[in-house]
Amino acid sequence: MANNETHVVTGAFGYSGRHLAAALLQQGTRVRTITGHPSQLRSDPFDGQIEASPFNFDDPDALVRSLEGATVLYNTYWVRFDYGDTTYDKAVENTRTLIRAAVSAGVERFVHVSITNPTIDSPLPYFRGKALLEQDLAESGLSHAILRPT
């Protein structure tokens, strides 16, 4: 059953995003991705069924444009570990930019992949960052769902 909605999946060519995008396509949903690895477009696992744009955290207006027309945004973006300029703090900052872009673009629902038991007072930056973003999302005014996989 096809529908006219467009859903955006961050990282649709990555592990979690790929499975989510495949399920959405199977349901007849139009899917777009924003990805940190635009070079992977050459190995597109969806044979061109998904429109792809690069993450533009340094260009919020471009990020808003990549989200325009989307009904739902599924956020799988995060970092596994600090490495060089890729840090948990930077991931929090980037995701905050994504949340603001979703609001500006008129996204109706934001589905955020978090982690089990995130807490703001955690000594672990991974867990603390996820908790901060859950709080930011709750305060954003967006209709949202938070997934906490185990």
The CATH number of whichever domain residue 96 belongs to comes to: 3.40.50.720
From CA 56, how far away is CA 127, in angstroms rounded? 24
Q: How many percent of the chain have pLDDT more than 90?
A: 75
Tokens of 35: 């990805």
Report pLDDT for 118.
96
In a domain, 39, yes or no: no
Amino acid 16 reads: S
- Residue 34: inside a domain: no
Task: Answer yes or no: is pLDDT of 39 > 80.
Answer: no
Within a domain: 139? yes
Sign of CA dihedral 110, 97, 33, 64: positive
Residue 4, pLDDT score: 83
The chain-wide mean pLDDT, for the chain, equals 92
Q: What's this model's pTM, rounded to 2 decimal places?
A: 0.92
DSSP state for residue 75 in the 8-state scheme: E
Average pLDDT over every residue of 16-29: 95
pLDDT tens-digit map of 57-92: 999 999 999 999 999 999 999 988 889 989 999 999
Residue-range definition of the domain harbouring residue 130:
1-9+48-150
Percentage helix, strand, coil for the chain under 3-state DSSP, each rounded to 5: 40, 20, 40
Mean pLDDT, rounded, for 13-32: 94
pLDDT above 80 (res 13) = yes
